[in-house]
Amino acid sequence: MEKGYEILERNWRNRHKEIDIIAKDGEELVIVEVKTRKSDDYGEPDLAVTKAKQTKLIYAANAYIFNHGLDCNTRFDIVSIVFKDGKPVIDHIEDAFLPHW
């Protein structure tokens, strides 16, 4: 919201599909996966968004777009949150990946 995005949905579900945040950035639909870790001992949280998870997000985004009759550009972002000294360090990765077909 600090970046001026309009939040459309949080924790949107359709059958076995889930999207953490769906937002609009201007005319662009933004599908956001949020990953949180207590520490970065095992790597940054965004590394947990594997090709398999990306595929699930792409299918979920397609379901959302179809269900809402949308025709707009879509991008996939990741918000990575790591707690360091008890404080969240947030990294917003825009255009984190492209749909792979």
pTM (2 d.p.): 0.91
In a domain, 1, yes or no: no
In a domain, 33, yes or no: yes
Please state the three-class secondary structure of 51-76 as a single string. HHHHHHHHHHHHHHHHHCCCCCCEEE
Q: What is the CATH number of the domain that holds 55?
A: 3.40.1350.10
Return the structure tokens found at 75.
């991008």
Residue-number span of the structural domain to which 41 is assigned? 6-97
pLDDT, position 26? 95
pLDDT, position 52? 93
pLDDT, position 101? 57
CB 20 within 8 A of CB 34: yes
Q: pLDDT per residue over 11-63, tens digit each?
A: 999 988 999 999 999 999 999 999 999 887 778 899 899 999 999 999 999 99
The tally of domains found in the chain comes to 1
pLDDT, position 83? 93
